[in-house]
Amino acid sequence: MVTKLFMLTGTDSFLERKKQQGLHATIIEVGPRLSFTTAWSTNAVSICRACGLNEVTRLERSRRYLLFSNEPLLETQIHEFAAMVHDRMTECVYTQRLTSFETNVVPEEVKHVPVMEKGREALEEINQKMGLAFDEQDLQYYTKLFKEDIKRNPTNVELFDIAQSNSEHSRHWFFAGNIVIDGKPMDRSLMQIVKSTWEANRNNSVIGFKDNSSAIRGFMVNQLRPVLPGSTCLLDLSARDLDILFTAETHNFPCAVAPYPGAETGAGGRIRDTHATGRGSFVVASTSGYCVGNLNMEGSYAPWEDSSFQYPSNLASPLQILVDASNGASDYGNKFGEPMIQGYTRTFGMRLPSGDRREWLKPIMFSAGIGQIDHTHITKGEPEVGMLVVKIGGPAYRIGMGGGAASSMVSGQNDAELDFNAVQRGDAEMSQKLYRVVRTCIEMGEKNPIISIHDQGAGGNCNVVKEIIYPKGAEIDIRAVVVGDHTMSVLEIWGAEYQEQDAILVKAESREVLESICKRERLSMAVLGTINGEGRCTLIDSTAAAKCKKEGLPPPPPAVDLELEKVLGDMPKKTFEFNRVSYAREPLDIAPGITLMDSLKRVLRLPSVSSKRFLTTKVDRCVTGLVAQQQTVGPLQITLADVAVIAQTFTDLTGGACAIGEQPIKGLLDPKAMARLAVGEALTNLVWAKVTALSDVKASGNWMYAAKLEGEGSAMYDAAIALADAMIELGIAIDGGKDSLSMAAHADGEVVKAPGNLVISAYVTCPDITKTVTPDLKLGDDDDGVLLHVDLAKGKRRLGGSALAQVFGQIGNDCPDVDDVPYLKNVFEGVQALISEDLVSAGHDISDGGLVVAAMEMAFAGNKGISLNLDSNRISLFETLFSEELGLVMEISNKNLDAVLEKLRGFNVTAEIIGKVTDSPLIEVKVDGITHLSEETSFLRDMWEDTSFQLEKLQRLASCVEMEKEGLKLRHEPKWELSFTPSWTNDSYMSKDAKPKVAVIREEGSNGDREMSAAFYAAGFEPWDVTVSDLLAGAITLDHFRGIVFVGGFSYADVLDSAKGWAASIRFNSPLLSQFQDFYKRPDTFSLGICNGCQLMALLGWVPGPQVGGSLDTAQPRFVHNESGRFECRFTSVTIKDSPSIMLKGMEGSTLGVWAAHGEGRAYFPDEGVLDRMLHSDLAPLRYCDDDGSVTEAYPFNLNGSPLGIAAICSPDGRHLAMMPHPERCFLMWQYPWYPKSWEVEKAGPSPWLKMFQNARDWCSQL
């Protein structure tokens, strides 16, 4: 046992320190709270169990700080330091060395609240004590409910239950309520207004305004899926009718309090919303957004930020929120295996002319997801008597208490300790296991055992269980819930918002099937009760009942015994009264002498305008292999794409597109214009993907307002009416969305309201995912590239609410608007017609920063120059260049110019030539014939990238950031060359009945198996889904296979280092180890390890193999943390060298791009002799290279710092190959984010990387 633990955790003592003479030493140790088992521990224990260490039930890591001082540290100093280095929400200070995880916590008993005796006063007291967020109407209703209707005292569990499941967060009282403005009752609720768009334009909608997501009609496709889901089996194509799904959430309150875990669980909750739609659905990709206050970033140039502003101590700073929240969301998605393919970022903090301070002290953390759902599963089944109420997912912990109620308050109203208690913590690896169980069920098609499914979110069990049993009712045993902390009270088990849980309904006869699936995926399952038809939620405690029985006492009354209709049914509507408020305004005043360059120095650094590289590099944008368009574009992979596109399958070209629109700063001037602009921006982003029709576009509308504060409710109502009118006129519709209506916080003695925001996420079906236009300029002098401006404002150039105004500390008085909605429709359809005929080579919307920034960004991304020549039409230079009126900029070849203009005229759309594209990387701007700017593209791009690089230095090794920043100035189009021509796999292979079998092996946390299976399928193999648990159980042996693949991902969430847990589960199970060793030695077999699988093969000693690496673990090469210190995802260049590798045969001499996404990919050679022998034998076949194709160690070309650019290692006989990059995510050309025009390939065809898998197929045929 000890040997195994040493292998897993290491043997070096981190306590050994050399004392410094004459100084006082103080050790401060911090670690997880004893009552809270971390996600890290959960994964570490899973590793131990996989290694046969069943005695280990908890394994935590702490941090010890050794401080030296001239004098003994005071107790206050120790406390101050400890507060700086630990998160009080999840950690505590260990005052003495731990010998046990036991605590003295005694679970609190269920209590009765004396409403019958004290009436409303009793509810007011517990409301304050527990932070239940009951308002005046709640207090009246619940006092009457218990005192006059039910006629008994409620329990504290019942009141907590009601507070969470009937909070504003959960029930959306405001949206559905009666609205009174200026004393006049409005004739429609907000919900009715927004829903009117869907009622007018349902068209292709299949799920709208119900369930956890919305969905639109998709296509019949051929999906690669297991033939016997839930067991070891082959994957084959299956004709399925798959619809496109979309959902969007915000997690604002948790991110204000604890940004990293708040964003983790925001992303995780939204993922569960995706997969818990209908009777279960497929997760594909995500989008994200962040709105925070002024960053006040040291060393940055941001003169518009007010240094006098104070920030609340109970909330994280805007800078910390932006960095930590984006890290939390990114890391969670990376570990789960969901690519993040789109987003937005905005900062704002200003004292307005009215005297109001407006700032996102309570931030927006926006998370949305696009997925798919089998058309047969779009409708949840109704509960029937006898059905089982089942919970699947991770165990319960004392976390997230009262999140639903807490998030419904203005920050600062609640007790700070209650706020911290209300934030949840995430476990992405558990989430992935949960999704695999759901996916297995839905891939059973008509035999799907899930009748209904709801994800656990706000309110925990007390909300999700009531939802799943409504209206029939059930008796629930609280002790059936799987807990990770046995000191939890009934209240805590019932109300805690622990994550990664679903409630499902199944028929009794499906129980065995579900148990089998959960066992295979190592996920806990618990039957909590049975639908009984009594219409009540009755919560019993079987443990307490058994104790009473043993003592001869009557059973205790239920902790909850409520009639569902009275707490979940049609409850009385609430009424909200508002007055419209007119705010003082001042016209925009730019001081005389301010030049275009002066303005650009500010505008290009504003986060809403500047590069978002700091967000995209750290997030996986290629996992699943179904990403057809993500954020980065062009030869330099600049973060700029307007639209995101997913494919439905690997064999069809149909898919879905989504785009975001939001313009909150304009809303400070005109909420109605803001709403129309949000719709307009979403459509001018979406237009660059070829869609089935504008009338097929649906959207999620997410509202973030301080709605109940002065002026905000009426502004929101006016925005909703404008939104509905515009959408109905366009023929599109809102089909879902969420609201967050307490967007304010207390700071420096005042209530600071966030700017009201409406985020429109438009999504639609795509008939051909290859017809997507990106912003990077592609033409030049030889192609005679022309820039066209399509002006949706028809000459108006308003500057109110613009980036220019913000960077000069103003908002102006007159903002842009969509004055001609039908013209927007014409433009959309006209540009779609151009895209259908491939007449647009590049396109970009005009948004934050205006026309001049849009054109510059296109040049930045294409590494080109532009010469703009504009007419002012008698308005100012700043209005001409920086107005954010809706519009488009298109790059057109001059030879197609007449055809383009003619086709646009057919849609009554006009376009103006505003400039040309040049190969010389110089940006020139002329207005009325006067040159106002002539600068190198790289100089201006550096300004645009500056803020992003400043933020990167807070997240990555500063020297790496500086190297990338300086290197960007000298970048050019990569010189990629192919030594072969890619082609589809020979029909003789594809049509064979008996194909070589390849085992695609995955472990807990692996996430790259489906795209790997698709790549091998495309090469003529028969891919099989094999888990390590299958092999341990003897369900299959490796004797059946010619090839095995260890896939990428985060096995055991990379706990105890990448792939170490996976390697240990093989090495410490003798029969399994023997199987792998026998397979390795068989001369007719091959193996491939990608990313996490590459790390595993190195730890197993499979590469370079015992002949080269020897048999000592200490001498084996391995892959360690990236030099930059963090996970990175890049489309990077590699060159293929001569080697014995069977999979790279015939590819030698090629230099090409490939996806790479990892945090521990740096090749490390403890024994230099091994490296020398490897190189001498040509066993490093893949190397990272620079834009010139030269092997490099320079960052970021070599994204992990591997010596000599080593990206792969093979065995001397060539049968075993381990590589960090991901060829399986780019074996099709539409998966390539960019490729040179010189390549003679079709975007709908195979990529060069398919040959790697075809080589393995050829090799199998030769033996």
Could you give the residue numbers annotated as active site?
Answer: 1091, 1222, 1224
Q: Which residue has the tokens 């269980």?
A: 465
User: HEC profile for 55-89?
Assistant: CCCCCCCCEEEEEEECCCCCHHHHHHHHHHHCCCC
Q: Residue 748 class from Cβ within 10 Å (0-12 exposed, 13-18 middle, 19+ buried)?
A: exposed
User: For 1136, how many CA atoms within 13 A lie in the half-sphere containing its CB?
Assistant: 27
Beta strands in 776-835 (DSSP E): 785-791
Q: Residue 814 class from Cβ within 10 Å (0-12 exposed, 13-18 middle, 19+ buried)?
A: middle
- Dist CA 218 CA 1114 (whole Å): 54
User: HEC profile for 508-576?
Assistant: HHHHHHHHHHHHHCCCEEEEEEEECCCCEEEEECHHHHHHHHHCCCCCCCCCEEEEHHHHHCCCCCCEE
Q: Which residue has the tokens 């003695």?
A: 749
Q: What 3-state DSSP class applies to 97?
A: coil
Q: Which residue has the tokens 């140790």?
A: 29
732, 682 contact by CB (below 8 A): no
Q: Which of 322, 318, 316, 321 is nearest to 344 (CA)?
A: 322
Q: Is the dihedral of CA 68, 74, 75, 78 positive or negative?
A: negative
Q: Which of 372, 279, 263 is nearest to 323 (CA)?
A: 263
User: For 469, how many CA atoms within 13 A lie in the half-sphere containing its CB?
Assistant: 33
Cβ within 8 Å of residue 1119, ≥6 positions away: 1058, 1094, 1095, 1098, 1160, 1161, 1162, 1163, 1164, 1200, 1220
Angle between helices 428-442 and 318-336 (to 10 degrees): 40
Q: Which residue has the tokens 């795509």?
A: 766
Q: Which 8-state DSSP code applies to residue 1089?
A: E
Alpha-carbon distances of 1099 from 471, 1059, 1121, rounded to whole Å = 54, 8, 15
**Token pair of 1002, please?**
């995955």
37, 484 contact by CB (below 8 A): yes
Q: Decide the pairing of beta strands 1043-1046 and 997-1002.
A: parallel
The DSSP secondary structure of 329-396, one letter per residue, reads: HHHHHHHHT--EEEEEEEE-EEE-TTS-EEE-SS-EEEEEEEEEEEGGGSSPPPP-TT-EEEEEESPB
CB count in 10 Å sphere of residue 180: 16
482, 494 contact by CB (below 8 A): no
Strand partners, 1210: 1217
Cβ within 8 Å of residue 639, ≥6 positions away: 611, 612, 613, 615, 616, 631, 632
